[in-house]
């Protein structure tokens, strides 16, 4: 799908990634900084994390040890997509990415059930300190089968 994005969207993504790279480089030692050429948390990698989680939820995947940590990270990736999308939506053609994200969100919704009691909180907690009402819907849903609780 990435290859089908318009040039204007790819340019907007490149600008976001360049800003992210500078932020990531500012947080590491100089000998590491000079070796960094692409951001760890690029727009593409954030989409990939979210899509990977959705695909796992759509199948009856066998959870590996401590998968709950990775699940938590994938939900955090979805949070960061909300942040970056607010910038990209303003760009010409940002609706292409918005449609992709909406599709992935719909698939996530279909592969999960509401968790009004927040039963996953012993394992899954947002890394950003936000009031519960400000959290995305993905923090308030759970897999049909919670693999690490088996």
Provide the residue ranges of all domains of the chain, joining segments of one domain with +. 41-143
pLDDT band at 150 (very low <50, low <70, confident <90, very high): low
pLDDT of residue 124: 81
pLDDT of residue 31: 95
Q: Which residues of 63-101 are buried (b: 16+ CB within 10 A; e: fewer)?
A: beeebbebbbebbbbbbbbeebbeebeebebbebbeebb
pLDDT of residue 65: 60
pLDDT of residue 102: 93
pLDDT of residue 64: 65
Tally the residues of the chain: 150
pLDDT above 80 for 105: yes
pLDDT of residue 36: 95
Q: For the residues 93-115, what does the mean pLDDT come to? A: 90
Rounded to whole angstroms, the Cα distance separating 130 from 14 reads 29
pLDDT digit string (tens) for 120-134? 888 787 877 788 888
pLDDT digit string (tens) for 53-89? 999 889 877 666 667 778 888 999 898 898 888 877 7
């Amino acid at each position: 799908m990435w290859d089908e994005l318009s040039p204007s969207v790819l340019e907007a993504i490149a600008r976001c990634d360049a800003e992210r790279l500078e932020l990531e480089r500012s947080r590491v030692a100089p000998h590491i900084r000079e070796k960094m050429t692409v951001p760890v948390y690029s727009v593409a990698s954030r989409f990939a994390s979210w899509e990977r989680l959705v695909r796992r939820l759509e199948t009856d995947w066998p959870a590996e040890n401590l998968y709950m940590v990775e699940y938590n990270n994938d939900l955090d990736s979805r949070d960061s997509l909300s942040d970056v999308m607010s910038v990209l939506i303003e760009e010409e053609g940002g609706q292409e990415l918005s449609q992709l994200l909406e599709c992935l969100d719909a698939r996530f919704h279909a592969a999960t059930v509401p968790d009004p009691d927040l039963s996953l909180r012993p394992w899954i907690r947002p890394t950003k300190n936000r009031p519960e009402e400000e959290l995305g819907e993905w923090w308030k849903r759970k897999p049909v089968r919670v693999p690490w609780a088996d």
